[in-house]
Each structure stands twice: as structure tokens, then as C-alpha cells.
């Protein structure tokens, strides 16, 4: 793949990331923000000291949220496009569109869903401020393990395919990945810092909204970028115009 194609895919990845970010912003605003407000209300009701707000809650939930999600979407789209350039043609004989969807789905699973199941997202008022460094380290460690194990499972599947066939090689690779992730879940420490009396419904809905936001982001990126990559790499041939038949001029009798 030449540098011009990589550059064009990178630009399209950033555009797709922006579009996916807009979709994720809608999901975050309508699904996530009401639960954040509920968590903040609980925190304020049980706080002994009230801190002065440097940025208003209204600004945080509108301009602040939009800025963060859209910038993240563009950056995420550029990184995903570079990963796509590397994966294209190496994961099977898929079309550019199908490759984008496959890569988005696998990345969603490895980068977000697997770490999320071990260390799920928490709303305000959940989590001890003194352990934020430890919790962040454990989360990124789980993410790194998940990505590395996913890459290892892919390599394992490709090496087993010539001997056992694609189906059995895929089953073996997925099983190995699941076992390795299960061991990581078992050995990494459990974190449970939900304060007493915190509404379980708010916690559950917040985590579901966080998952829905990521599903929207990755799914939207896969669909948008897949279409853009398909048009770039497999352009449709222009329709040939029907030839015009020459006819002799009519002469009136």
C-alpha cells in the first residue's frame, strides 16, 4: 500500500471518527447525562463539604462533553485507520467494507468490552479518590493484556488454519483467548468501592449507557469508514454512455 493511499485512508478515518463521535455524543447526552446528574445529586446530598464549581454543570454536559467526545472521535478514527491499513489483506479475503466492520468489532471487544467486564465504568460518587491511580493502572493493564492476547489469538488461528481448517482454527483461537482472559480476571484484584446507599439502578444504567456509547462509536465508525474505504479502494466504474446513432437528415418531399 503506497503512502498516498495510507494518507487518504487516514483522512477518511478521521472524518469517520468525527461522524461516529457525533453519534456517540447523542448517545452520551440522552443516555448517560441523566445518570450522571443522579449520581452528582447523591454525592452532594452525602458530602460533608461542598466544593466550589470551577466549571458549571451545564457547561460540562454540553460544550465540555461535545468537545471531549468529538476530539476523541477524530483521534480514535486516525489511529483506527492506521490499524486498518496494516490489517487490510492480512485478516482474510474480505472486502474493504467488511474488513472495516470486522476490525471495529474485534477492537471494540478487545479494547473496551473485555476490560469493561472486569473494571466497569463508574459514575461520580463511586470510587475512592485515594485509589484513582491504582484503578487507572489496573484498567489500562487489563486493556493491554486484552489487546495482546487478541493479537496472539489471531496469530494462533492463522497458524492452525492450514492444518485444522479455518473453522476449527478459529474455535481453538477463541477458546484460548477466553481461557487467558479468564485467568487474567481471576488473578487481577477486584475493586468494589460503591458507597453504601448508592442507588443500584443509577449504577446499572450508567454502566449500560457507557457501553451503549462505545457500541455507537465503534459501530458508527465501522459503517462510515467501511463505506469511505470501499469507495476509495474499489471505485465503481463510470457508466458508459450509450452511443449516439447517426441518422441521415430527413428531407421533405
Residue 147 has pLDDT above 80, yes or no: yes
Please indicate, yes or no, whether residues 151 and 179 belong to a single structural domain of this protein.
yes
- In terms of average pLDDT, the best of 41-45, 75-79, 121-125 is 75-79
> If 0-12 CB within 10 Å is exposed, 13-18 middle and 19+ buried, where does residue 82 land?
middle
For residue 12, give the nearest of 61, 69, 80, 58 by alpha carbon: 80
Torsion of CA 114, 192, 28, 33, to 10 degrees: 170
pTM (predicted TM-score): 0.84
Please indicate, yes or no, whether residues 43 and 19 belong to a single structural domain of this protein.
yes
Range(s) of the domain holding residue 173: 127-193
Please indicate, yes or no, whether residues 93 and 160 belong to a single structural domain of this protein.
no
CA 63 – CA 78 distance, rounded (Å): 23
> Of the candidates 165, 193, 221, which is a domain's last residue?
193
List the helix and strand counts (H, then E) for the chain: 9, 0
Please indicate, yes or no, whether residues 117 and 132 belong to a single structural domain of this protein.
no
In the chain, % of residues over pLDDT 70 = 89
Please report which confidence band the pLDDT of residue 138 belongs to, taking 50, 70 and 90 as the band edges.
Answer: very high
- The answer to whether residue 245 sits within a structural domain is no
Residue 252 has pLDDT above 70, yes or no: no
- The answer to whether residue 241 sits within a structural domain is no
Residue-level pLDDT at 12: 95
In the chain, % of residues over pLDDT 90 = 57
Residue-level pLDDT at 48: 59
- The answer to whether residue 73 sits within a structural domain is yes
Please indicate, yes or no, whether residues 96 and 158 belong to a single structural domain of this protein.
no
Please report which confidence band the pLDDT of residue 2 belongs to, taking 50, 70 and 90 as the band edges.
Answer: confident
Please report which confidence band the pLDDT of residue 238 belongs to, taking 50, 70 and 90 as the band edges.
Answer: low
Render pLDDT for 223-234 as a digit per residue (tens, 0 to 9): 999 999 999 988
Number of domains comprising the chain: 2
Please indicate, yes or no, whether residues 226 and 138 belong to a single structural domain of this protein.
no
Torsion of CA 70, 72, 75, 80, to 10 degrees: -110
Mean pLDDT of 7-15: 94
Mean pLDDT of 198-211: 92
Please indicate, yes or no, whether residues 8 and 87 belong to a single structural domain of this protein.
yes
Mean pLDDT of 33-44: 86
Please indicate, yes or no, whether residues 43 and 107 belong to a single structural domain of this protein.
yes
For residue 108, give the nearest of 223, 232, 230 by alpha carbon: 223
- The answer to whether residue 246 sits within a structural domain is no
Please indicate, yes or no, whether residues 10 and 135 belong to a single structural domain of this protein.
no
- Spatial contact of 99 and 88, defined as CB atoms under 8 Å apart: yes
Please indicate, yes or no, whether residues 93 and 135 belong to a single structural domain of this protein.
no
- The answer to whether residue 242 sits within a structural domain is no
Residue-level pLDDT at 93: 76
Mean pLDDT of 3-15: 92
Amino acid at each position: 500500500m503506497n503512502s498516498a493511499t495510507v494518507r487518504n485512508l487516514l483522512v477518511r478515518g478521521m472524518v469517520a471518527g468525527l461522524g461516529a463521535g457525533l453519534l456517540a455524543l447523542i448517545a452520551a447526552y440522552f443516555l448517560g447525562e441523566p445518570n450522571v446528574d443522579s449520581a452528582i445529586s447523591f454525592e452532594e446530598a452525602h458530602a460533608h463539604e461542598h466544593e466550589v464549581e470551577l466549571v458549571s454543570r451545564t457547561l460540562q454536559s454540553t460544550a465540555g462533553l461535545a468537545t471531549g467526545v468529538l476530539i476523541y472521535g477524530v483521534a480514535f478514527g486516525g489511529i483506527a485507520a492506521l490499524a486498518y491499513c496494516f490489517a487490510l489483506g492480512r485478516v482474510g479475503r474480505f472486502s474493504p467494507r467488511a474488513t472495516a466492520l470486522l476490525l471495529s468489532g474485534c477492537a471494540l471487544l478487545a479494547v473496551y468490552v473485555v476490560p469493561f467486564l472486569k473494571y466497569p465504568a463508574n459514575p461520580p460518587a463511586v470510587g475512592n479518590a485515594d485509589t484513582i491511580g491504582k484503578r487507572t493502572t489496573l484498567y489500562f493493564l487489563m486493556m493491554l493484556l486484552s489487546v495482546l492476547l487478541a493479537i496472539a489469538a489471531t496469530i494462533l488461528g492463522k497458524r492452525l488454519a492450514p492444518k485444522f481448517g479455518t473453522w476449527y482454527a478459529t474455535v481453538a483461537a477463541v477458546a484460548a483467548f477466553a481461557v487467558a482472559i479468564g485467568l487474567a480476571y481471576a488473578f487481577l484484584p477486584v475493586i468494589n468501592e460503591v458507597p453504601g446507599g448508592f442507588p443500584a439502578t443509577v449504577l446499572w444504567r450508567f454502566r449500560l449507557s457507557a457501553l451503549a456509547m462505545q457500541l455507537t462509536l465503534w459501530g458508527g465508525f465501522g459503517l462510515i469508514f467501511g463505506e469511505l474505504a470501499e469507495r476509495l479502494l474499489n471505485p465503481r466504474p463510470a457508466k458508459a454512455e450509450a452511443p449516439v446513432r447517426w441518422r441521415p437528415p430527413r428531407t421533405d418531399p
